[in-house]
Amino acid sequence: MGSYETILIEVEEQVATLILNRPDRMNAATPAMFDEIRDALDSLSQSDARALLITGAGRGFCAGADIGGRTFDGGRPGDASRRSLQNHYNPGMLALSALEIPIVTAVNGPAAGIGCALALAGDIIVAARSAFFLQAFVNIGLIPDGGSTWMLPKSAGIPKSMEAMMLGERIPAEDAEKIGLITRCVADDDLLDEANSLAKRLAQGPTLALGMIRQLVRGAQHMSLPEAMNHEAEAQRVAGNSEDFIEGVQAFQEKRGPNFKGK
């Protein structure tokens, strides 16, 4: 994998682990970080990775966009923010959304602002008990971005999402689990073991089908039922013609565990 300044990435046992690596800044995100994330995701197609695990170095997952000492490249601050979103942050988030392998996020500390959106981009979201989620934008007079206004309501519903975005208050990990914002809340010491175990399990599964599931679920959110069913039918055609399906049926008939290849 490539060498980066703000992230680390390695592939082991078909799991790619991407670590946000600015621990001195609680992994606060810069435009360059999201450019590096996008580049790393592009390179995964050349590896044997069949699942992606995202976490943060040090005490935090991601404290949001790094606005400490921020300077703007001329013009009005809002115009600069728009350019950063359109040219850097949004393409990185969309690359995650388009990924064809399942994603696990291991939220090891604060996930604020764009960091909250990044944490919620996982298909399976595991958080340490001490972690929290924060839609911090309103506290400095901004609006949620990074896809937050799309993701939060689809997970937690409109009332809780409005509360989070309009009041700008922390959502502790245990509360996030209760409202359906995340998958699991675990003891801090168990976080990486739990997340790694889930990522490895996904990597050993029928990742062709898993990749289509993540795309179908996201796409269905803005489709009618007949449209969603048509997309399911086409995806089932692809899955049904796959080597994994043949292996799954043979394993079932032979009463053994399947050996999926993601093909």
- Note the pLDDT of residue 20: 97
Q: What is the DSSP letter of 89?
A: I
Question: What is the rounded average pLDDT of the residues 213-241?
Answer: 91
| pLDDT digits 0-9 by tens, 174-185 | 999 999 999 999
- pLDDT value at position 70? 55
Rounded to 10 degrees, what is the CA torsion of 71, 74, 77, 81? -80
Sign of CA dihedral 235, 240, 241, 243: positive
pLDDT at 82 over 90: no
Give yes or no for a contact between 64 and 101, defined as CB atoms under 8 angstroms apart: no
Residues paired with 55 in a beta bridge: 19
Chain segment 91-106, per-residue pLDDT in tens:
999 999 999 999 999 9
pLDDT tens sequence across 113-157? 999 999 999 999 999 999 999 998 999 899 999 999 999 998 899
> How far is Cα 104 from Cα 113, in angstroms, rounded to an integer?
19
